[in-house]
A and B are shown apart, each in its own frame.
Chain A
């Protein structure tokens, strides 16, 4: 499982910083919001990289930036199945498990027994697989609605990752490394591409109401990059972000009169300090904040959607209401120029997530119906609006599950980082295909293996970023999402 640290073709440390900064540089000039937001330390980096070149001391770190490679998608929606769905019960059909049912995993298959749980016997899928679409892609009965979109799915059956524990594997799926403190995928995306809407955050995360993911904040943090690039938690009902409203008595009108006085005082202060960009930027940031107070609730206001749409997503009905709402909000955010959105299914621990130790049927039987119809609706909706080609959908968990049970007749399965399935749709990827294979038992990836760095490299590539050139200089090293690894899976691009 150890990822190769060396790779003769790559020289990870410090190769591409200047190139990248040079690329970025052109994007900073001539923007309307150039002086709106300053980020001094980032600027220092630039100034430092450009050596003696003097640059304007303020710019917007979230201004849209030109892509590094031809983009296929403008935005990405990552449907995070927190807790790890079982591949052999969903998207990786292994008929031979029926034959071997009740037998042990062959001895030569080595693995770490996560959590030291009981090791049981090979167990076939808990719900039937059926073919969907013209492609005849096999999807199990846990996802009957998604199956109707089989021709849009690019199922990656050969994913593997670096940890068998939820905490570190989830952090790895989000940041590339099993330890906390690195920028997450969404942070890299907004760092590289900026955001197209100045009243909304560029990177939005919506959690499951049951709770946040294990390890919390580091899953959407920006690590060593400025906090500007970290994910913003969005609540799907009411005020989506923190501190959007003050106390009740402070109506919009009352706040306006506060802001007017503030602007007058700040202006006098500024007049005595000519040329103070950072003071001017802060004055403007207040006006922007005032606009955000209206724009963010508008983005989650589903009353503007038709009955038909609400119904399609399963909003107002159990058990689809929550995830349906989130999927619909994701579409609205993409429409409004948000770059990266992550929707968690499952939160907290064990059975509140996809962590089906107690039973695949009891667990997936609960969680799959929560998301199946909403995800299918999202695909339909995006396609009907002509947005699917520009939007990459990613579905999957932090790892997969074992093809065997946790004891005789036990209905659950343990963690499996050695082989699992994810799928992509939209964003110029081929639909109706399976890519990569696990062994005949669905235990480990064996053909066209996809390490999570490869997945990340591919997602960035689809969004117009080159994972080798998208670097951030930090403490003596050009850091990147995929470090010294990662390859773009070009075979799946349409």
Chain B
């Protein structure tokens, strides 16, 4: 079917052009209104359907008046009869229409019918309002200017159109080109010339695997004269595992994939990654599309289900999940909407969710249809308040899988809800397919005896994947086209309804869909089909671009290739590849990239919410990044990563300055450019060859002579700037900052200065304050005095606290300002629960939540006041260690043996005026330290890193603690930095960011 010829097409798209013509026609028509009985079908019925039936139909018609059949018309409504038999032109129906009260106002604006329509109704009524006896009007019986009916193009049977014959020139050998050329011919345009081989190979690499070819691969292809060279490249790429990774990402957008649930707790969805890996495998194994559908919707219900097929049902588990909804009974309907919406948009390109409260305003989807589809999910855990909204492992039949299965009895009926409101149930819905495609409409059978599930999802999946379902196959080939061309044939890939963009080439869409369906639904064959067309191989430059753009700026005729920006993932992966750091390890749990502490400020639980993975794990492909709904990685969102709340069929492509800021300044990009610079330097090349190497690695080509000169000049300028900078740095660092100004030390406690209770006992009565500030530590009750162990940590004196009641009081207020550094030398002897080293907590004095303390909880979780109730995990707790906490200079941090455990924003305001204690929480009898404390130092400011390291080194030496060797960041020479600057510029260049 060609839309140019179809009446729907002209209705929709001819309107603008025809408006003037229509006006004249309407005028003429209004004089010739006369309704004959045969006119009911051609004139009155369409009018009633278009204007009245939306409200006046169904079980609960508006005003009690149904206008779908003769009976309803004559019965009238709540206000009585609407047709006055005695005086037809005084009928209430006509009066309401003539006064413009009907149709009712919309958003305050009158919807009064055009005069010619009123005339038509008047004429009809005056003739006795003839309504054929057996005729029942159906709201969706046909498409009109306001909405699509069941005759809408995308709902029509899919058949394979003939390949058009082109009128001019030779007939293209490739079917796709025949479709494209025949339209271009009609408009009098030539397609763009074929792109050069370099452009082609780079484009196809990104298209299929999301990574660029190396310079070597490009050269090899450029020189390859084998006529099968192009096909070989395609086959080579389709066989690479990176193909599945690239195409899985598109599907994950549709499946609203994320690793967490969203909302306050934003819990991790355990094993969501197994679903991600399933999708990658499905693509790599070229799973037939029918199977791909069945497993995701009903992998638990299919015969001979496997752990793999159940993993695929993760598709239904990926939505957001709120563990604290306002009302759990309402919330189950929200979840139903998520499931209906995701399923219907992803697989059949219909916005079924719009029919939740009323029949769809634009498409042939009744309200009942919404609930029919909903019934497939209704027996699942939609009302579950636990298990992150899913089934238990027992119900699912597999452990460690994020899957879906039925958990409710099928006798729990799902009602259609008036206006979508729970407390207004209408009739029970009969589980069935959508009614939109009458030839395919079917009820869902009840499950066979002994079945564990309702098998409704299985039947829904079978209906969707039916070879006769006209939507499914059109929708998927449209998506594949979209990702190869940057735009789709139907430009709204998640919507094939009335508000959709019409297909640019409807026959081509149908041809592709039929071809794909008929050959087993194998995507790899479809890719190859598309990539071998001349249409795909066109250049993005067209000699007549300026002229054609005036007529077709959005390239609906496909007269050239679309230039595309790398998406967020391809960009990040390409950066890593440029510096030869990309780790192609596949699958497994997601990794967490380092996110700057500034970006973490948006989290309500700052310290515990994000623990970045080890640097070496962060070099994997972006597909494997942990997607936390409450904090999507800023680097990815800057480049239009889609919001994972709703199924996304097409990402935005924006060009905003924050992207420039990210590429110019983000640490990630700098580290890449510096790594590459170091790599190149290590090769001991001449300056010119260094430049060549930069070009080769980043842009995969050799620079021109002019470019070499520009680069050389840049390196020289930067070298001077960076050398000057390092000189300055050096002079700065020579300033004595390694020692610590003793004035800022406000408290110093050391076990070897302990004063014993009596000469015999080892119990400690008091200790002086070595800082000279008279903050004496003491305990008068002998039973609560810690014991002195003379050869404690590293042979040094250490106080041993029993974890039951031992503690020390401190005289005076240790701090008079928020900024501070606390260094302690301690060990933990299998302590449990909260336990403190130093604290000024005092519940009676109201200093809860605002006190300052340092201690542990659970096995090895550090607490740095209530502000950071999880300030990282210590290791080897039974061995002596140095625990340091810092607050000030805009940040707070905790270190064990000089290695950082936590770094975040400063503590919120602390109250410092309550009593200070060692080895307990404060004035309650509890939270006692169990283990040794050898030394505590408190400074009234945040020590610099150098100062802190200095003190820690001193303590480490004294107590024979080996400090975690600080990974010394290799200081880069000005030469390296200058070369890195060049790499960095190329990584920002349009040549790098765009695909021609």
* Chain A contacts to B: CB under 8 angstroms: 1-2, 4-6, 8-11, 13-16, 37-42, 44, 47-48, 51-52, 54-57, 61, 112, 162-168, 171, 178-181, 207, 209-218, 221, 223-224, 226-228, 232-233, 235, 237-239, 241-251, 253-255, 257-258, 261-262, 264-266, 269-270, 273-276, 278-279, 281-283, 285-286, 288-289, 292-293, 318-319, 347-352, 358, 362, 366, 417, 468-469, 473, 475-477
Given A288-B660, A293-B661, does the pair A348, B606 have CB atoms closer than 8 Å?
yes
Q: What's the minimum C-beta distance from A243 to chain B, rounded to whole angstroms?
A: 4
List residues of chain B with CB within 8 A of the CB of A289: 657-658, 660-661, 664
List residues of chain A with CB within 8 A of the CB of B345: 475
State whether A5 touches B710 (Cβ < 8 A): no
Distance of A52 Cα from B16 Cα, bound (Å):
8
Distance of A276 Cα from B601 Cα, bound (Å):
38
List residues of chain A with CB within 8 A of the CB of B638: 227
List residues of chain A with CB within 8 A of the CB of B906: 209
Binary contact readout B244-259 vs A (1 if CB under 8 angstroms, 0 otherwise): 0000000000000000
State whether A258 touches B652 (Cβ < 8 A): no
List residues of chain A with CB within 8 A of the CB of B429: none
State whether B988 touches A262 (Cβ < 8 A): yes
Question: How many Cβ-Cβ contacts under 8 Å join chain A to chain B?
Answer: 331
Cross-chain pairs A/B with CB under 8 angstroms, 19 sampled: A9-B105, A11-B107, A11-B361, A13-B362, A41-B653, A178-B326, A179-B322, A212-B601, A233-B602, A243-B661, A243-B664, A246-B670, A253-B721, A258-B718, A273-B996, A278-B563, A289-B664, A348-B604, A358-B849
State whether B714 touches A348 (Cβ < 8 A): no
Q: What's the minimum C-beta distance from A429 to chain B, rounded to whole angstroms?
A: 23
Taking a contact as CB atoms closer than 8 A, the residue among B326, B330, B657, B707 that contacts A165 in the complex is: B326
Residue in A closest to B717 when the chains form the complex, CB atoms: A257
Given A5-B357, A243-B661, A254-B718, does the pair A10, B107 have CB atoms closer than 8 Å?
yes
Binary contact readout B857-891 vs A (1 if CB under 8 angstroms, 0 otherwise): 00000000001000000000000000000000010
Within 8 A of A (CB), among B481-512: 491-492, 494-495, 497, 499, 501
Binary contact readout B296-323 vs A (1 if CB under 8 angstroms, 0 otherwise): 0000000000000000000000001010
Residue in A closest to B725 when the chains form the complex, CB atoms: A249
List residues of chain B with CB within 8 A of the CB of A57: 553-554
Distance of A131 Cα from B1 Cα, bound (Å):
75
List residues of chain A with CB within 8 A of the CB of B758: none
Give chain B's interface residue range (CB within 8 Å of chain A).
35 or more
Within 8 A of A (CB), among B439-471: none
Q: What's the minimum C-beta distance from A142 to chain B, rounded to whole angstroms?
A: 17
Q: What's the minimum C-beta distance from A286 to chain B, rounded to whole angstroms?
A: 5
Distance of A44 Cα from B651 Cα, bound (Å):
12
List residues of chain A with CB within 8 A of the CB of B106: 9-11, 15
State whether B601 touches A235 (Cβ < 8 A): yes
Taking a contact as CB atoms closer than 8 A, the residue among B599, B711, B721, B982 that contacts A242 in the complex is: B599
Within 8 A of A (CB), among B601-656: 601-606, 629-632, 634, 637-638, 640, 643, 645-646, 650-656
List residues of chain A with CB within 8 A of the CB of B330: 2
State whether A180 touches B499 (Cβ < 8 A): no
Given A37-B654, A57-B553, A181-B643, does the pair A207, B601 have CB atoms closer than 8 Å?
yes
Taking a contact as CB atoms closer than 8 A, the residue among A54, A163, A257 that contacts B552 in the complex is: A54
Distance of A270 Cα from B721 Cα, bound (Å):
29
Given A15-B107, A40-B652, does the pair A6, B665 have CB atoms closer than 8 Å?
no
Let me know if B397 is at the binding interface, CB within 8 A: no
List residues of chain A with CB within 8 A of the CB of B354: 13, 476-477
Distance of A261 Cα from B707 Cα, bound (Å):
10
List residues of chain A with CB within 8 A of the CB of B541: 273-274
Most chain-A Cβ atoms within 10 A of its Cβ — which of B497, B846, B990?
Answer: B990
Residue in B closest to A466 when the chains form the complex, CB atoms: B107
State whether A215 touches B263 (Cβ < 8 A): yes
Distance of A232 Cα from B324 Cα, bound (Å):
27
State whether B714 touches A275 (Cβ < 8 A): no
Sample of 7 more A-B contacts, CB < 8 Å, known A38-B654, A44-B554, A417-B326: A14-B361, A54-B553, A168-B324, A257-B721, A258-B988, A273-B541, A288-B660
Distance of A417 Cα from B637 Cα, bound (Å):
33
**Interface of chain A: mostly helix, strand, loop or mixed:** loop
Distance of A418 Cα from B603 Cα, bound (Å):
28
Given A210-B908, A319-B909, does the pair A165, B324 have CB atoms closer than 8 Å?
yes
State whether A211 touches B725 (Cβ < 8 A): no
Binary contact readout B15-56 vs A (1 if CB under 8 angstroms, 0 otherwise): 111000000000000000000000000000000000000000
Distance of A254 Cα from B662 Cα, bound (Å):
17
Let me know if B435 is at the binding interface, CB within 8 A: no
State whether B661 touches A476 (Cβ < 8 A): no
Distance of A8 Cα from B629 Cα, bound (Å):
36
Distance of A351 Cα from B869 Cα, bound (Å):
14
Distance of A52 Cα from B262 Cα, bound (Å):
40
Q: What's the minimum C-beta distance from B865 to chain A, rounded to whole angstroms?
A: 11
Distance of A261 Cα from B996 Cα, bound (Å):
22
Taking a contact as CB atoms closer than 8 A, the residue among A166, A171, A285 that contacts B655 in the complex is: A285
Let me know if B735 is at the binding interface, CB within 8 A: no
List residues of chain B with CB within 8 A of the CB of A210: 867, 908
Most chain-B Cβ atoms within 10 A of its Cβ — which of A212, A244, A475?
Answer: A475
* Chain B contacts to A: CB under 8 angstroms: 12-13, 15-17, 104-108, 262-264, 266, 320, 322, 324-327, 330, 334, 341, 345, 350-351, 354, 357-358, 360-363, 419-423, 491-492, 494-495, 497, 499, 501, 540-541, 545-546, 549-554, 563, 565, 596, 598-599, 601-606, 629-632, 634, 637-638, 640, 643, 645-646, 650-662, 664-667, 670, 707, 710-711, 714, 717-718, 721-722, 725-726, 846, 849-850, 867, 890, 905-906, 908-909, 977, 981-982, 984-986, 988-991, 993-994, 996
Given A14-B361, A227-B637, A246-B670, does the pair A475, B605 have CB atoms closer than 8 Å?
no
State whether A42 touches B602 (Cβ < 8 A): no
List residues of chain B with CB within 8 A of the CB of A318: 909
State whether B652 touches A285 (Cβ < 8 A): no
Taking a contact as CB atoms closer than 8 A, the residue among A1, A257, A258, A475 that contacts B646 in the complex is: A475
State whether B721 touches A168 (Cβ < 8 A): no
List residues of chain A with CB within 8 A of the CB of B650: 41
List residues of chain B with CB within 8 A of the CB of A254: 718, 721-722, 981
Most chain-B Cβ atoms within 10 A of its Cβ — which of A42, A55, A218?
Answer: A218
Residue in A closest to B703 when the chains form the complex, CB atoms: A265
Taking a contact as CB atoms closer than 8 A, the residue among B266, B497, B545, B867 that contacts A216 in the complex is: B266
Distance of A56 Cα from B550 Cα, bound (Å):
9
List residues of chain B with CB within 8 A of the CB of A262: 985, 988-989
Given A262-B988, A273-B541, does the pair A211, B326 have CB atoms closer than 8 Å?
no
List residues of chain A with CB within 8 A of the CB of B350: 476
Q: What's the minimum C-beta distance from A83 to chain B, rounded to whole angstroms?
A: 11
List residues of chain A with CB within 8 A of the CB of B341: 475
Given A14-B361, A362-B846, does the pair A243, B423 have CB atoms closer than 8 Å?
no
Q: What's the minimum C-beta distance from B131 to chain A, rounded to whole angstroms?
A: 26
Taking a contact as CB atoms closer than 8 A, the residue among A15, A178, A251, A283 that contacts B325 in the complex is: A178
Given A242-B599, A276-B563, A282-B993, does the pair A211, B606 have CB atoms closer than 8 Å?
yes
Distance of A408 Cα from B829 Cα, bound (Å):
41
Given A166-B264, A278-B563, A476-B354, does the pair A51, B653 have CB atoms closer than 8 Å?
no
State whether A228 touches B656 (Cβ < 8 A): yes
Most chain-A Cβ atoms within 10 A of its Cβ — which of B263, B361, B989?
Answer: B263
Given A13-B354, A292-B661, does the pair A476, B495 have CB atoms closer than 8 Å?
yes
Taking a contact as CB atoms closer than 8 A, the residue among A39, A207, A233 that contacts B652 in the complex is: A39
Q: What's the minimum C-beta distance from A39 to chain B, rounded to whole angstroms?
A: 5
Q: What's the minimum C-beta distance from B602 to chain A, rounded to whole angstroms?
A: 4
Given A246-B664, A251-B721, does the pair A261, B263 have CB atoms closer than 8 Å?
no
Q: 6 closest Cβ contacts across the A-B interface? A: A181-B645, A476-B351, A216-B630, A167-B264, A289-B660, A163-B326
Most chain-B Cβ atoms within 10 A of its Cβ — which of A213, A351, A477?
Answer: A477
